[in-house]
């Protein structure tokens, strides 16, 4: 299973893919608001963004839940001259390093965190004064979600022997914007303390000691994401409400 996920991750981070583009935008935002310093990618996978930021001059680290993925990340890091101790396995809500960081990126992780407030407070403890978080949340009310639900209707024949799986997938999409429901059973989705919109995500960071400096909303639809930086006010309004991912920069205050 780990090997299958490794192949999927590699495909997702190919040049031109949505996830590669999202990571590159995140890296640009880190560099814009924190030109240098100690950087952590929380949920680093195979270490693409760690290597990318190290090449920009950051003291870059990465952590992930998967030991198998981290082995690949360490191997990729070695090719860039990064020591293996720059990568470490983490628990769901904890940063495994004793250091404090100038910037932490958290991409595609929040949908799998059960309690967003608790996790964000713990991340805050690992930031230096004025440190940054660059993070994404998934908007369950999005054009991408609607398209995925429509596609699932046409795929119902593929679930002849397992309609429960088809129902769970659709229920998870409606409730969370993701097929898996963030790794939560359909019975427990409503019990998780999560944010499912740009507004609720920004408000969550605000009440936990941050302010929002910048944001980009991405649809995961190439036609709508093209020229994201040149959107006019009406386009930004639509994107904030109906994009699939809200990618924002938050500064630690107080």
121 and 144 both lie in a single domain: no
- CA 81/CA 51 separation, integer angstroms: 9
pTM recorded for the entire structure: 0.91
174 and 243 both lie in a single domain: no
183 and 208 both lie in a single domain: no
127 and 52 both lie in a single domain: yes
Q: Please tell me the total count of domains within the chain.
A: 2
Complete DSSP assignment for 36-91: SSEEEEET-TTTHHHHHHHTTT-EEEEEES-HHHHHHHHHHHHHTT--GGGEEE--
- CA 235/CA 134 separation, integer angstroms: 22
82 and 53 both lie in a single domain: yes
10 and 120 both lie in a single domain: yes
**pLDDT for position 195:** 95
Q: Which of 106, 118, 159, 111 is nearest to 139 (CA)?
A: 111
CA separation (Å) from 246 to 113, 145, 221, 243? Answer: 16, 14, 14, 7
Q: What does the mean pLDDT of the chain come to?
A: 90
Give the model's confidence band at 43: pLDDT under 50 very low, under 70 low, under 90 confident, else very high: very high
**pLDDT for position 163:** 77
42 and 157 both lie in a single domain: no
The CATH number given to whatever domain includes residue 124 is: 3.40.50.150
Q: Which of 75, 77, 79, 109 is nearest to 95 (CA)?
A: 109
Which residue in the block uniquely carries the two structure tokens 């429901």? Answer: 181
Give the HSE-up count for residue 217: Cα atoms under 13 Å, Cβ half-sphere: 24
145 and 169 both lie in a single domain: yes
**pLDDT for position 156:** 78
Q: What is the pLDDT of residues 138-162, one digit of tens each?
A: 999 999 999 999 988 887 777 777 7
According to DSSP, the β-strands at 101-106 and 87-89 are unpaired
Angle between the N-to-C axes of helices 198-207 and 116-125, in degrees from 0 to 180, rounded to the nearest 10: 50
Q: Which of 69, 53, 121 is nearest to 61 (CA)?
A: 53
98 and 217 both lie in a single domain: yes
| Residue 236 pLDDT exceeds 50 | yes
227 and 204 both lie in a single domain: yes
Give the HSE-up count for residue 175: Cα atoms under 13 Å, Cβ half-sphere: 22
31 and 130 both lie in a single domain: yes
Q: Which of 192, 212, 236 is the last residue of a domain?
A: 192
41 and 70 both lie in a single domain: yes
Q: Which of 173, 192, 211 is the last residue of a domain?
A: 192
**pLDDT for position 4:** 46
Parent domain of 26: 2-139+197-252
Bridge partners of 137, per DSSP, are 246
Which residues neighbour 174 within 8 Å (Cβ) at sequence distance 6 or greater?
140, 145, 149
């Amino acid at each position: 299973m780990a090997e299958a996920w490794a192949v999927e991750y590699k495909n997702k981070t190919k040049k031109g893919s949505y996830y590669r583009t999202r990571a590159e935008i995140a890296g640009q935002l880190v560099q814009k608001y924190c030109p240098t310093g100690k950087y952590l990618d929380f949920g680093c996978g195979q270490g693409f963004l760690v290597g990318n930021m190290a090449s920009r001059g950051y003291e870059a680290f990465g952590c992930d839940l998967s030991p198998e993925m981290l082995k690949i990340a360490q191997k990729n890091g070695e090719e860039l001259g990064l020591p293996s101790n720059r990568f470490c396995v983490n628990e769901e809500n904890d940063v495994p390093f004793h250091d404090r960081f100038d910037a932490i990126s958290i991409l595609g992780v929040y949908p799998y965190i059960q309690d967003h407030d608790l996790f964000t407070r713990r991340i805050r403890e690992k930031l230096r004064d004025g440190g940054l978080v660059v993070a994404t949340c998934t908007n369950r009310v999005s054009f991408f979600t609607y398209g995925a639900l429509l596609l699932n209707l046409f795929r119902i024949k593929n679930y002849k022997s397992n309609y429960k799986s088809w129902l769970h997938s659709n229920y998870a999409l409606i409730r969370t914007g993701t097929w898996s429901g963030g790794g939560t059973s359909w019975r427990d989705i409503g019990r998780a303390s999560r944010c499912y919109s740009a507004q609720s995500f920004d408000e969550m960071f605000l009440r936990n000691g941050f302010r929002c400096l910048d944001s980009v909303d991405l649809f995961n639809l190439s036609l709508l994401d093209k020229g994201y930086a040149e959107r006019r006010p009406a386009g930004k309004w639509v994107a904030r409400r109906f994009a699939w991912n809200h990618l924002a920069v938050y500064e630690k205050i107080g």
